[in-house]
Amino acid sequence: MQTRRPSTGTEVTLPRPDRCASDSLFIFAIAAAMAILHLLTNNRYGFHRDELQFLSDAVHLDWGYVSYPPLTPFLEHILLSVFGLSMVGLRLFSVIAQATAIVVGGLMARDLGGGRLAQITAALAVAFMPIAVFGGTEFQYTSFDNLWWILIAWFTIRLLKTENPRWWLIIGAAVGLGLETKYAIAFLIAGILIGVVFSQARRYLRSPWFWAGIGVALLIFLPNFIWLVRHDFISYHFLQRIHIRDVGEGRAEGFWRDQAMICINLAAVPLCIAGLICFLRDKRYRMLAWMSLVPIALFCIAKGRGYYTAGAYPALMAMGAVAAERWTAKLPKFGKLSIRAAYFAAFALIAVYISAVVIPFAQSGPLKDFALKRNGDLREEFGWTELVRTVASIRDSLPPEEQAHLGITTGNYGEYGAIELYGPAYHLPSPIGTTNSEWYRGYPTPQPTTIIALGITEAQANKIFTNCWLAGHNNSLGIRNEESMYHPDIFVCGPPRKPWSVLFQEHRDFG
């Protein structure tokens, strides 16, 4: 063993480098196993409606979008250019993000003084956070948002452990990328600032590196901020409207239940509690407690969705794993082995259940039915290519003069993305939509006079357009999801009752 003597005068035992490398192999193996599992199963069904929005926006690169910052569409633009419409290829960065988060979970435990058991426990806890497992099955901004939270926590641990203020530059870069991914990271920023003020880290307020880190974050965020200014902070209005909708529809209910069932997983809850207690009692690392507590408290007060806080827990898991390793090491051999065996047996059962619900293992049979019954997100992956095929069939049934002046209007971003991405294979025109960033893309010139209308009811179709008739149905392959339950009908209509310019001003939608 090696030893060093820090400024406090106490002697600290450091692990041998070869032991550290050996321990790291285990956490990399866990990350690799999860990545391979996702790569083998990510082609089972289809794209989620949210994925279709990201892909649609990826076709129209910009420094910002109504519903989120630009990073996720930019990453999908790269993958779209390389892989085309391959589900496995387009979900690759999400898989990499989840695998990276698993590795960082183990490394946090190592840097907090944990041995092999603590590192493996922390890596497994991060790997089987339900929201993290889901993040590897689809590309959503939550996949990358959670990664920035976890990286920021790890970089903060490195800062506090080494007392090297240059880590603020790395923290600032991660914060900037987080701001380019999801605006909710502002709650973590509040936790960082409060953590600095109410811990020993307040000494960094006098450090130029702290302020340089803030400068780095703002510089990375600047392009999107300029976009927001130029677009009258439309994303703020979007978030405000969506929050009102979520609260009104009860989506923000069950906040504390979701912490255990979606963000953490039941087996890792004791680790989080132990980790929080340890952080609060440790003067050096107390800042990490604030970085977890403040965002959770703010989201609770603001009635945010339960899964928004997922990134606050991996650091607690890592510290809790270290504490559990040390506590069980003091027990008699039989007691130590019994407790550890019981814990990992329970963890394994919970991990298997989470995986069966979230990961699309089967294309048919009882396992598929089990997952679809419990996972609404998986149900939203069905029916999109069939919808486009139905629209093409309706188009082909129309007289040539109507086909020549055809437009396709959509009621939500899933329909819009499906028509935009799959439509070219059927020579369909680009979709016309007013949801989120679709509104900025406007309507074609010359303006269409025959409309295939998706995503609206018969009453809405007759109110907006002339001479409407029911032309077909979207049943999403018999799966009960949002499209088949609430938007099953497809209409063919004549021109709108009002000029397109007026129609677009009246139908600017958030969703």
93-114 pLDDT, tens digit each: 999 999 999 999 999 999 999 9
Question: Does the pLDDT value for residue 21 go beyond 90?
Answer: no
Place of tokens 């926590």: 153
Residues with Cβ within 8 Å of 58's Cβ and at least 6 positions away in sequence, in order, are 73, 74, 76, 77, 80
pLDDT given at position 19: 63
387-410 pLDDT, tens digit each: 999 999 999 999 999 999 999 999
When pLDDT is cut at 50, 70 and 90, the band that residue 20 belongs to is low
Q: What is the DSSP letter of 426?
A: G
If you compute the radius of gyration of the chain from its CA atoms, what whole number of angstroms results? 25
Do the Cβ atoms of 153 and 108 come closer than 8 Å?
yes
Question: Does the pLDDT value for residue 490 go beyond 70?
Answer: yes
To which H or E segment does residue 25 belong?
Answer: helix 17-41
Question: Does the pLDDT value for residue 2 go beyond 60?
Answer: no
CA distance 58 to 62: 9
Please report the DSSP string for 156-195 in residue order.
HHHHHHH--TTHHHHHHHHHHHHHTT-GGGHHHHHHHHHH
CA distance 340 to 125: 14
When pLDDT is cut at 50, 70 and 90, the band that residue 217 belongs to is very high
Q: What is the DSSP letter of 429?
A: P
Axis-axis angle for helices 208-230, 167-179 (nearest 10): 10
This prediction's pTM: 0.93
pLDDT given at position 16: 55
CA distance 150 to 172: 14
